């Protein structure tokens, strides 16, 4: 005979797992620092690529202006300005990326805790029922 309550609980657990599977898996695979470092590294390369692309586009749009009056002193000054602008932007971006990653990790840990609690409850409840039924069958035989 089918146990409707068990089926309903297992379906609810499967739906929860499907909805939050990525978060549940990520929280189990990484420690908090590793999770944040993963997003920081990803953010570093993403920001650096976007910055280089933006500089190249700006340089190509105004190439004749830059090449017309370019001296070594002016080039050095512009490169220093770009380095400062890049470093400041990178620090701000990484701070935001790590902050968002830490919040996401905490949420993922919360979902993982809920999932494991539901799984333990389901396991305990139906293991107990199964054991009780088994003992009753043995009692009827003996």
What is the number of alpha carbons within 13 Å of residue 88 lying toward its C-beta? 6
Q: How far apart are CA 103 and CA 36, in angstroms?
A: 10
pLDDT band per the 50, 70, 90 thresholds, residue 139 = confident
pLDDT of residue 66: 67
pLDDT in tens, 86-102: 999 999 999 999 999 89
Q: How far apart are CA 82 and CA 119, in angstroms?
A: 53
Contact present, 101 and 27 (Cβ < 8 Å): no
pLDDT in tens, 54-76: 988 888 887 777 677 778 888 78
Token look-up 């905490």 returns 106
Q: How far apart are CA 117 and CA 122, in angstroms?
A: 9
Model pTM score: 0.63
Q: How far apart are CA 103 and CA 110, in angstroms?
A: 11
- Distances in Å between the Cα of 109 and the Cα atoms of 32, 44, 49, 114, 139 are 9, 25, 31, 9, 44
């Amino acid at each position: 005979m089918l146990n409707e309550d068990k089926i309903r609980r297992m379906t609810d657990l499967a739906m929860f797992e499907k909805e939050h599977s990525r978060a549940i898996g990520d929280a189990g695979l990484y420690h908090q620092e590793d999770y944040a470092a993963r997003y920081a590294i990803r953010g570093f390369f993403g920001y650096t690529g976007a910055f280089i692309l933006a500089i190249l586009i700006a340089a190509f749009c105004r190439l004749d202006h830059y090449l017309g009056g370019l001296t070594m002193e002016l080039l050095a000054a512009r490169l220093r300005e770009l380095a400062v602008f890049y470093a400041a932007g990178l620090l701000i971006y990484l701070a935001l990326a790590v902050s968002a990653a830490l919040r996401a990790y905490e949420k993922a840990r919360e979902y993982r805790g809920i999932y494991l609690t539901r799984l333990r409850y389901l396991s305990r409840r139906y293991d107990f029922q199964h054991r009780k039924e088994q003992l009753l069958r043995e009692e009827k035989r003996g």
